[in-house]
A and B are shown apart, each in its own frame.
Chain A
Amino acid sequence: AQKITQTQPGMFVQEKEAVTLDCTYDTSDPSYGLFWYKQPSSGEMIFLIYQGSYDQQNATEGRYSLNFQKARKSANLVISASQLGDSAMYFCAMRERTYNTDKLIFGTGTRLQVFP
């Protein structure tokens, strides 16, 4: 069965510094997708970045990048130049997809706090 593991319940980072949030996954499917979502204190889930298992390059979206190491089954989120507004819960998720299903399996999340 597919599984997502986020081992960091909480992380602290100083404003303007970079931070890495860890995510490891387990799957036997050759084709899969990995997502990161942000959940601020207001509660909504915001899509940040996506990495497909066959993508040759690591995904980047503005200050977000995904350090994808397929052999190690890790998909860490890197936030560069942290801002106070980055303080939130961050969830890693993996897509489980068959001919008639398309589901996301979420990790337990990492709470990031950015301090001045």
Chain B
Amino acid sequence: NAGVTQTPKFRVLKTGQSMTLLCAQDMNHEYMYWYRQDPGMGLRLIHYSVGEGTTAKGEVPDGYNVSRLKKQNFLLGLESAAPSQTSVYFCASSFGLGTEPHEQYFGPGTRLTVT
């Protein structure tokens, strides 16, 4: 049981390049999330999904797109990377339904640098 995994762990992009971050979970969770963490700002929600085939915008969605074609995977795309997208990206998942507390389980993070 690997929990939540993220690929890649590190990446350096040049401004304007594109990339996709992959998140996978093996806990049969309904809900999945993408956050970014910047110094002094805590975690901010980018996009999330409440089930296979669904996506929704979070607090800071601009410049990102997501897809949830399979229940276990949640992809985060950067179409044209900008230096402002330099950050640590976390994926998380939760059951979302049934008995509380529905804590979110986090992946190890992806450190992205855009030059």
A interface list, Cβ under 8 A from B: 33, 35, 37, 43-45, 47, 50, 52, 91, 93, 95, 100-109
Contacts and interface: CB of A to CB of B under 8 A. Distances in A.
A101 B45 CA distance: 12
Given A43-B108, A45-B90, A102 B102 contact: yes
Given A33-B100, A100-B50, A108-B41, 10 more contacts: A33-B101, A44-B109, A47-B103, A50-B101, A50-B103, A91-B42, A101-B56, A103-B33, A104-B33, A108-B40
Interface string B45-76: 10010100000101000000000000000000
A103 B42 contact: no
A37 to B, nearest CB: 8
Where chain A touches its partner, the secondary structure class is strand
Given A33-B100, A35-B103, A103 B45 contact: yes
